[in-house]
Amino acid sequence: MFMEQLSNGIALGSIYALTAIGFTMVYGIIRLINFAHGDLYMIGAFLTYTGLTLFNMPILLSFLFGMFGAAIFGILIAKFAYSPVFKAPRINLFLSAIGIAIFLENFAMLLWGPETQSFPSVINNRIYSFIGIRISSLQLIILGATVVLVGILTYVVQYTKLGRAMRCVSQDMDVSKLMGINTNRIVYLTFALGSGLGAAAGTLVGMYYKAVYPMMGFVPGLKAFIAAVIGGIGSIPGAMLGGLIMGISESLGAAYISSGYRDAIAFVILIIILLLKPEGLLGRGIKEKI
Amino acid sequence: MSRITKVLLNLILYSGILYVGIIILSKVFDIGTKKFLEMDSRKRKIVLIGFIVFTGFIPLLLSKNTYALRTSILVLIYIVLALSLNFVLGFAGQLSMGHSAFYAVGAYTTAILTVNYNVPFWISLIFSALVAAIFGLLLGVPTLRLKGDYLAITTIGFGEILRLILINWTSFTRGPAGIPGIPSPSIFGYTIRTNTGYFYILYVLALMTIFISHRLLNSRLGRGLIAIRDDEVAAEAMGVNPTFLKILAFVLGAAIAGIVGGIFASFIHYVNPDNFTYMESVVILTMVVLGGVGSIPGVIVGATVLAILPEALRGISTYRYAIYGILLAMMMIVRPQGIISMASLKGGGANGNSSSQSGN
């Protein structure tokens, strides 16, 4: 029982981690709680679903189709809804993001219908068990996909010119501009990367629960933010750690405390972390300049 | 494929109409505020009193049309809710996104007291305000140390936890089934059952809230709050106690939201957790920002527009919320300071985005 919940929690946690990484990257660059992130996750899942059912693409291709499609959506949103509001008070950016989130949910409802679509089972789900640990092949795929994607992302952020520019912009946008970085391009690329990762997470969730529906992104979007805050917002390893902590504590909590309060567990952790260590587990505190 | 083209074409068409609508509406209100500010104080008073008297006659004008009357009651409910959030967001500058939680606390307090314990409506309404205020205090004391986004997300969390408690604590709240059969209030032995009666109760409450907002804004406390909103450190250096004032604004907003919650429960005679979701908080927040953060007439206009809009868009109901989302984003781009901004009320910065308030 405990081991089963643990492997379940790790699978769930790696999905949260993927979503939270996209979230934390966007926050790191433009200090925006991207409320539409959860909905890009939903759009990604729906695009993969469309690729599989309408165009009969193989799974890997439709997975990439979903990621690229969501990345394009991310760029469009950043260009038309967020960049005109960058200079306005922060709350305007925030509300613009909420507006886009509401729009995307209803846009998906208009295109794909409000009802839950069943995700075709593309993988023969077998259960492996060794030394008392039972793990399904779907959980292994989720874990594997997460490790591969995070590996690629870490390489991009740490070892390429683009990644260096991204880290630069997240530290100080104006100075980066002075250093000759095309900050607009970096912002859009960050949105594309973050949305792509979110879409991957959405697709994995669709595969795991075999269902996609327009509201599927709402709660994961909030939880991604919480995971990012727990780990220290703006920090990529922090987002991964936060995602895993949330996934595991949620499955264990649902099993041992009460399944009705499943979604409350995340918020309770959040409030405790914010009160004890507001900068997050791996975050650095920012001093306010006067 | 034809479905995609159709949806996209429709959305582009509606966005175009919205864009033109926003531009026209903003111009009308700009001219309106300018004209109003040019009047001398006697003329202003006459206009205001005329407006109050006219809105007071709305139920008589709409007495044949129950649907319109019910909508106008909803408008009043949202005006009070938006004004109560305005204490927190507009005056103190704290981004609270769990306002529907206080509304829910008020509604459930009245529901449980009147249905389970047969407490008279007016007494339970006072309890609604008290309990909501206590919740405001409980939430405010630990969280108001947080800033901006963190506060926003914590208040969302608070709202969600409260909703989950309402759903799961079935022995006390009857869970998702909700509490039916909340009685109507009575004054001097006369029971209020009609929509007109509820309209006047809420009308008085709305006038009171506007009065409190106005008086608070021009008082020592209100100036302190605005100083905190503009620059907390500087305000503290000037001897303003930020923690105390922020908690005060929070508790006041919560108490008023609690009262509206109680009246709402009695108005629809039924409460269930679905009435108080996170979307409800977002709608209230949107009203404040759309109207103009901190500006009392702006918030009233924002609440009126956004409460009527979903009803007016019923004809194209499938596109309703997609349009709502576009409107929100577009409004933030085209007119970030809101329909009637606080700056324009003081006679400056009526057009242009040069508002010096940094929000959060």
Spatial distance between the Cα atoms of A73 and A67, rounded to a whole number of angstroms: 10
Instruction: Please write the tens of the pLDDT for every residue from B302-343.
Output: 899 888 887 887 777 778 788 888 888 888 888 877 778 777
Cβ burial of A60 (10 Å; 0-12, 13-18, 19+) is exposed
Within 10 angstroms of residue A128's Cβ, the number of other Cβ atoms is: 11
- Look at residue B349 and tell me whether its pLDDT is greater than 70: no
Q: What is the pLDDT of residue A289?
A: 52
- B270 beta partners: B180
Instruction: Write the secondary structure of chain A as one string of H (helix), E (strand) and C (coil).
Output: CHHHHHHHHHHHHHHHHHHHHHHHHHHHHHCCCCCCHHHHHHHHHHHHHHHHHCCCCCHHHHHHHHHHHHHHHHHHHHHHHHHHHCCCCHHHHHHHHHHHHHHHHHHHHHHHCCCCEECCCCCCCCEEEECCEEEEHHHHHHHHHHHHHHHHHHHHHHHCHHHHHHHHHHHCHHHHHHCCCCHHHHHHHHHHHHHHHHHHHHHHHHHHHCEECCCCCHHHHHHHHHHHHHHCCCCHHHHHHHHHHHHHHHHHHHHHCCHHHHHHHHHHHHHHHHHHCCCCCCCCCCCCCC
Q: Encode pLDDT of B186-242 as tens digits.
A: 777 677 777 788 888 889 889 999 998 888 888 888 888 888 888 888 888 888 888
Query: Does the distance separating the beta carbons of A110 and B326 come in below 8 Å?
Result: no
CA-nearest residue to A271 within chain B is B154
The confidence score (pLDDT) of residue A43 equals 93
Instruction: Work out the number of other CB atoms within 10 angstroms of the CB of residue A255.
Output: 17
Question: Is residue B210 within 8 angstroms of chain A, CB to CB?
Answer: no
- Mind telling me how many Å the CA of A88 is from chain B's nearest CA? 7
Q: Is the Cα dihedral B41, B47, B53, B55 positive or negative?
A: negative
Q: How many CB pairs under 8 A join A and B?
A: 139
Q: Looking at chain A, how many residues does it have?
A: 290
CA distance A223 to B60: 49
Instruction: Let me know: does B95 contact B317? Beta carbons within 8 Å.
Output: no
* Residue A133: C-alpha distances to residues A8, A248, A254, A289 (Å): 11, 15, 19, 51
| pLDDT at residue B15 tops 60 | yes
Does pLDDT of B43 surpass 50?
yes
Q: Do A100 and B325 touch (CB under 8 A)?
A: yes
Q: Closest by alpha carbon to B199, among B49, B53, B55, B65?
A: B55
Chain A residues in contact with B93 (beta carbon < 8 A)? none
User: What confidence score (pLDDT) does residue A284 get?
Assistant: 67
Band (B172; pLDDT cuts 50, 70, 90): confident
Which B positions 66-105 lie with beta carbon below 8 A of chain A?
A: 89, 95
> Helix crossing, B320-334 with B296-312: angle to 10°?
150
A102/B321 CB distance under 8 A: yes
CA B152 to mean position of chain CA atoms: 16
Residue A129 sits at φ, ψ, to 5 deg, of -140, 130
Length of chain B: 360
A96 contacts in B (CB within 8 Å)? Answer: 328-329, 332-333
B283-297 per-position pLDDT tens digit: 898 888 888 888 888
**pLDDT above 90 (res B178):** no
Between B45 and B345, residue with greater pLDDT: B45
Q: What is the mean pLDDT of residues B257-279?
A: 88
Question: What global pTM score does this model have?
Answer: 0.84
Q: Which residues of A87-112 are buried (b: 16+ CB within 10 A; e: fewer)?
A: ebbbbbbbbbbbbbbbbbbbbbbbeb
Over residues A83-135, the pLDDT tens digits come to 888 877 777 888 888 889 989 988 898 888 888 888 887 777 777 777 767 77
Min Cα distance A155 → chain B (Å) is: 30
Nearest chain A CA: its distance from B33 CA (Å): 22
The closest of A286, A194, A188 to A233, measured between CA atoms, is A286
ipTM: 0.81
Residues of B in Cβ contact (< 8 Å) with A264 = 160-161, 164-165
CA end-to-end span of chain B, whole Å?
Answer: 43
B358 in reach of chain A (CB within 8 A): yes
Q: Which residues contact B93 (CB under 8 A, 6 or more apart)?
A: B225, B228, B229, B230, B359, B360
Q: Could you write out the three-class secondary structure of A217-270?
A: CHHHHHHHHHHHHHHCCCCHHHHHHHHHHHHHHHHHHHHHCCHHHHHHHHHHHH
- CB of B177 within 8 Å of a chain A CB? The answer is no
Nearest to A103 among B143, B318, B329 (CB): B329
Q: Which chain A residues have a beta carbon less than 8 Å from that of B330?
A: 99
Question: Closest chain B residue to A288 measured between Cα atoms?
Answer: B233
* Per-residue model confidence (pLDDT) at position B46: 85
For residues B174 and B166, the answer to whether their CB atoms sit within 8 Å is no
The 8-class DSSP code of residue B64 comes to: T
Which residues fall within 8 angstroms of residue B229, CB to CB, at 6 or more apart? B91, B92, B93, B294, B357
CA distance A149 to chain B (A): 28
Nearest-neighbour CA in chain B from A280: distance (Å): 11
The pLDDT tens digits of the residues spanning A122-179 come to 777 777 777 767 778 888 888 888 889 888 988 988 899 988 888 888 888 888 889 8
Average pLDDT (A16-23) is 89
The residue extents of the domains of chain B are 1-38+313-360, 68-276
Using a CB-CB distance cutoff of 8 angstroms, which residues of chain A are in contact with residue B322? 102-103, 106-107, 109-110
Q: Across the interface, do B152 and A268 touch by the CB < 8 Å criterion?
A: no
Question: What whole-number distance in Å separates Cα of residue B226 and Cα of residue B232?
Answer: 9
Cβ of A275 and B142 within 8 Å?
Answer: yes
Residues 326-345 on B with a CB inside 8 Å of A are 326-333, 336
CA B311 to chain centre: 17
CB spacing of B336 vs A85 below 8 angstroms: yes
Main-chain phi, psi angles of B295, to 5 degrees: -90, 120
Average pLDDT over residues A26-45: 86
